[in-house]
Amino acid sequence: MVKVFPLLAIMLLTLEGIDTNCRASAQNLPAKFKAVPISASVARAAATNDIPLAGIDSPLPTHILHPGDSATILGTMFLKRKETQWLLYLRAEAQGTIATNQPPMVVNMFKRKISFASKPVPASLRMLGPFNVSDDSKQLKSKDQTARFMLNESFLGIGLDRAAAIIWHRKQVTNAPPGYPLTPDEQQAFAGALPAINSYFDIVQHTDGLDELLLHLVKLPSAWSVIRHLGVTSVLEIMRTSAPANPADWDLPLNTPAFYVPCILQLNEQSVLKITLVVTAPNPPRLICGGVIAVLVERIGDNESYMILRVISAKCKSQE
């Protein structure tokens, strides 16, 4: 089986073609991002397994994960008139004997090498579902899957919000000369988007059940395309544009910056998915998700087939 998110090995971080029509105020909540009711099957599964479905702790001014920090993510898939849901429960675990520091990641960008500290942290990810929500007699075979892997606390702490803010704010400077250079701090923010987004998709790819669901949205390349490219090559194009989001739509304190960041996934040079991230500052309790609070995955050319992942609960163990 071809896996979807593990193919995200090549990413384009580009400043060309930045949308010049960014508005000076937060855009209205897109219809597909509106909160979806939690189905009875999901609620029962959560209660049975002691998984919280509500409550987001107040943000902390740190970038430190504590064992027990957690996030509950509700996933909903819409395929034409069929709707399914599942739960992802992400939790930081005790460090144990694993080394807390690793060699830094070095990104070659802007004609210089930019270094980012690396700190792996043990984590567990549990998936319950999928559960059938639509009025359909066909019952789905629900699963209970658990994976253990390493989160990277340092990379998640970089986040994508700073890069998104820079893109948007630069386009508000109407008298800026074409291609006027980024400051060293701005370069650092853009380069940091690479380890940050890699770390986020590390979370997603560790659950096979979620990968199987994603394949419902992806039209895989033809056999001839696979032969021509000697397999399947992928490119995730990010940071072409961003737009401010209303923090009230995302359970964020007032005046907390949040942004929509659209991306395009290409397989063998063909655009197959539009992926829109909703990002904010990656402080606990949202550090465990790198500040990504929702993801919308849409099949290109099919407005009725899409998936939404949304953080519905986030807890800091240190606040208990």
pLDDT for the residue numbered 320: 59
Pick the more confident residue, 128 or 100: 128
Task: Decide if 260 contacts 27 (C-beta within 8 A).
Answer: yes
Task: Decide if 140 contacts 216 (C-beta within 8 A).
Answer: no
Q: What percent of the chain has pLDDT over 70?
A: 81
Pick the more confident residue, 224 or 124: 124
Bin 133: left if φ > 0, else alpha if -120 < ψ < 50, else beta. Answer: alpha
pLDDT for the residue numbered 239: 74
User: What is the average per-residue pLDDT within 142-151?
Assistant: 87
Is 36's pLDDT higher than 80? yes
> pLDDT band at residue 268, thresholds of 50, 70 and 90?
confident
Is 11's pLDDT higher than 70? no
Give the tokens for residue 89. Answer: 């429960």
List, in sequence order, every residue forming a beta bridge with 114; answer none if it has no partner: 107
The four Cα atoms 86, 298, 236, 280 give a dihedral, to 10 degrees, of -70
Q: Report the candidate in 74, 80, 89, 82 with the shortest Cα–Cα distance to residue 37.
A: 74
Non-local CB neighbours of 166 within 8 Å, separated by 6+ positions: 182, 186, 189, 190
Tell me the residue length of the chain: 320
User: What is the average per-residue pLDDT within 61-74?
Assistant: 94
Domain that holds residue 173: 5-319
Q: What percent of the chain has pLDDT over 90?
A: 51
Q: How many domains does the chain have?
A: 1
> pLDDT band at residue 23, thresholds of 50, 70 and 90?
very low
Is 24's pLDDT higher than 50? no
- How far is CA 94 from each of CA 8, 116, 118, 161, 264, rounded to the nearest angstrom? 29, 23, 17, 28, 36
Q: Supply the angle between the helices 161-170 and 184-205 in degrees, to the nearest 10.
A: 130
User: How would you class 303 by CB atoms within 10 Å of its CB: exposed for 0-12, middle for 13-18, buried for 19 or more?
Assistant: exposed
What is the rounded CA–CA span in Å between residue 36 and residue 30?
13
Is 10's pLDDT higher than 50? no
Q: Report the candidate in 77, 88, 89, 80 with the shortest Cα–Cα distance to residue 132.
A: 77
Please write the tens of the pLDDT for every residue from 194-242: 899 888 887 777 776 777 777 778 776 666 666 666 677 778 888 788 9
User: What is the average per-residue pLDDT within 152-157?
Assistant: 94
User: What is the average per-residue pLDDT within 156-176?
Assistant: 84
| Average pLDDT taken over every residue of the chain | 83
